[in-house]
Structure 1
């Protein structure tokens, strides 16, 4: 489902209709791709951006709208793995991003509800206070300023920390309006099908480039090793009315509501973060139930899911890889990290040696020599094995429901819409995991690396570069073994 930011909006930007040559090709028109174009437009003459869907239709238009350097409980993990100096650098880069994004809004007169707010992180339960205290110890060690929040100072928070002068905005409007001011060509509904030897091929055309930036979250099929370094994570979000009077941005370590942000016309809440290998449908049903319990007097405007990639050592990857520059792994904090990524890409293309480049380097040892790397890849392997276990009994699903089955030991899925059946091959073309049905978004999801496919088998999101084998029939046409 579309997020409240994107709902009922169309950009009208056309898809690519010819072959091209350019100085810089940016794949992905989310915040990171658009901000890269912003940083490079005075350096390179011809910049092209291609987007498989529409501008900001992915994580950029489906997030919480927070602009903050308070990145959950990540600082204690970053400090453990990378030490004080790099943790402090990460904080300052993201803190700078807040102010620079405000400057861009003023520069182009972007109307995106930019509003200065404080950000609070904490817990409701006494059992989670130690985890909050550990995060504050990391702040103290790295000289990160904050205020302590105690019981009754913020509704629903027993103990926490407040970052002052953070901000929130409408990320979709920011991207749409920024795109209109950029000195570049943008093409929507133009997915990258293949990339080789300085040429990107789309479905019907080819783009030859001097430099290519992959600002897509997911990497092309040939970069298989990226899927040992990152893992897809999903969260559910909802827009409720009326907006709460509390102007704070709140992140709690407890369910039911984990994240909360108040905009002008609605309140955004979210929770139930989980790996795609988990039971997403169970998580979704729990989220719906808890929304009713926690907000009985609010009107539900919309619900949606958001997906991002978690890197095993908690820092994004922004680096040159062969002939490309890759940007991935924002760990659910892409609004400020997108600006940091754009500066890092500029460093790379100008061949500047900076601490920022070193911080996000693909060559850092912590990417592979960590417990998280081992455990994440164990989970992927576990998901791959478990995904091969199927119920071989063939049945016709209930209306608006899906089932999985085996035919000659090969996995398939059926979705029923009234009297019509959509049948797809549920073996992911990427690396062979068996897809799971996502009842909330009505699509087929890969539990291993995050590819998503429509009911008809079309690609919604990579890393898969091809769709699923599929067919359609009426219920009356399907023969079922008795």
Structure 2
């Protein structure tokens, strides 16, 4: 079928993840009975699947449940860089938390990277794993001092890295930091292999099974949306936003950001290396081979969920950057990702609350999910197995630092409150009759605010725009055809179904308009 494009651009009309489009995923049935296991894992992305693998390998009986299908969450939207170079973070970690914890952060992510490399090598996984140097570069004189501080942190922490004046990119830079021998791969191909390993080791996987609550205790009872129960000694929430809060108020300690990716065939040959700009708007680059052709993933354009400009504009900004940098023959795929960021930019991994040691969580990867997910799976599985855990204090979800947590907490929650008020006061005049096919907008229905989308066939889908989490008003995301909450990042399909938490209930559908 011929690809459709919006405007006069080369950008595909509908978002699609290349990782899923190029992979055949196995199917699993939904849970239809009560079961008892040693560990129940919620969320079948890379964190959940690797946690299931690590526990099954040690002889534990595991049940892995997924509300949708395998890789239906953040994993399918990654750029799949496997690196411990997480932007300009080490100077910040050194300043806020000291040398010991900053080294721990690097070591945890380096161990995660080496774990992936070892698994691919020993199990001969065909997932296009390639070693590649990773660069943070700047084209602005104002950011040279930030790069200088970061390379000084590398030196203080013993992190391999070099400051360079130029890169192999086809434009000049003011400076760059290179971290050698990082990697990238095809995450879905890797995960398919690991899923087969979980099954081989005796684990059970259930798709279309939504976990909605957990009753804490020495033995935990997890309840699904259809009323079935999984009884387990341990529960691990790997569902992006924790499906169970446990008194941790995670909605107030995490904020959601969206970013965008184009997979493009270029006029100029892409050089070696993976690249990330130090300045905003972010520009992320990495090579990828598709059908024998070397192409490039162009990413960036981050913004808080529900608070961006018309999201198509973000794709168009990446397209313009790609055109100016390499020249674009064709854009084959586009997609966007949602990432959660903690108050101190370190993931929350471990017991969800201090009084619930057998309910564990893994979230807040700050857009670096490939190594963070593996580090989380390794840490949580070790906690469950009673093995040595070098990094548990660093990642513990119950932590709260005076600096920088309080400042970030106040800023993020003031931002949420501002959008709550703005949504309630917004004056809306557009009506459903004004919508064209494949157009969505906030409209007035019977004198009240509502959300409407007219699909390509002309059918109208109308929902109440009040988010079911805490009552903020959702906004239309034209690039993804979704309703996004600007307060805490919940996302809903145009029919109102929950796509991203913390919301657990669908938007109310309006049938009479």
Same fold (TM over 0.5): yes
CA distance in 2, matches of 1:189, 1:327: 21
Structure 2 contact 299–318 (Cα < 8 Å) conserved = no
Change over 3 Å in CA distance of 1:338–1:286 after alignment to 2: closer
> Which of 178, 188, 212 is matched with 1:193 structurally?
212
Check if 1:442 corresponds to 2:481.
yes
> Which of 492, 504, 510 is matched with 1:453 structurally?
492
> Which of 263, 268, 280 is matched with 1:239 structurally?
263
Structure 1 contact 125–158 (Cα < 8 Å) conserved = yes
Give the superposition deviation at 1:353: 5.9
CA distance in 2, matches of 1:276, 1:257: 16
CA distance in 2, matches of 1:233, 1:289: 17
CA distance in 1, matches of 2:304, 2:361: 23
RMSD of aligned Cα (Å): 2.2
Alignment of 1:328-339 (within 5 A): 328-339=363-374
Change over 3 Å in CA distance of 1:406–1:115 after alignment to 2: same
Partner of 1:382: 418
Alignment of 1:400-411 (within 5 A): 400-406=438-444, 411=449
Give the superposition deviation at 1:389: 2.6
Give the superposition deviation at 1:202: 2.2
Check if 1:226 corresponds to 2:264.
no
Partner of 1:303: 334
- 1:200-256: CA deviations, max 9, x gaps? 222323222221000112023645611111111110001001494312001112466
Partner of 1:259: 284
Check if 1:344 corresponds to 2:379.
yes
Check if 1:357 corresponds to 2:402.
no
Check if 1:50 corresponds to 2:65.
yes
Alignment of 1:117-128 (within 5 A): 117-128=132-143
Q: Secondary structure of 2:57's match? A: coil
Partner of 2:25: 11
- 1:335-386: CA deviations, max 9, x gaps? 1111111121123213456331111112323278432222222222222222
CA distance in 1, matches of 2:120, 2:474: 41
Q: Say which is worse superposed, 36-45 or 414-423, in terms of deviation.
A: 36-45
Partner of 2:11: none
Partner of 1:217: 240
Q: Secondary structure of 2:21's match? A: coil
- 1:63-88: CA deviations, max 9, x gaps? 11111110011222222221111001
Structure 2 contact 474–485 (Cα < 8 Å) conserved = yes
CA distance in 2, matches of 1:47, 1:375: 40
Give the superposition deviation at 1:459: 1.6
Partner of 1:166: 182
Structure 1 contact 313–370 (Cα < 8 Å) conserved = no
Q: Secondary structure of 2:488's match? A: coil
Check if 1:268 corresponds to 2:284.
no
The TM-score, its normalising length taken from structure 2, stands at 0.87
Partner of 1:428: 467
Q: Say which is worse superposed, 267-276 or 121-130, in terms of deviation.
A: 121-130
- 1:401-457: CA deviations, max 9, x gaps? 122135577531111124321000111111111111110110111112222111111
Q: Say which is worse superposed, 17-26 or 350-359, in terms of deviation.
A: 350-359
Change over 3 Å in CA distance of 1:257–1:462 after alignment to 2: closer
Check if 1:29 corresponds to 2:44.
yes
Give the superposition deviation at 1:178: 1.1
Structure 1 contact 47–185 (Cα < 8 Å) conserved = yes
Partner of 1:399: 437
- Aligned pair count reads 473
Q: Say which is worse superposed, 395-404 or 112-121, in terms of deviation.
A: 395-404
Partner of 1:98: 113
Q: Say which is worse superposed, 421-430 or 286-295, in terms of deviation.
A: 286-295
Check if 1:414 corresponds to 2:452.
yes
Give the superposition deviation at 1:55: 1.8
Q: Say which is worse superposed, 78-87 or 242-251, in terms of deviation.
A: 242-251
Structure 1 contact 435–447 (Cα < 8 Å) conserved = yes
> Which of 364, 370, 394 is matched with 2:406 structurally?
370
Q: Secondary structure of 1:127's match? A: helix
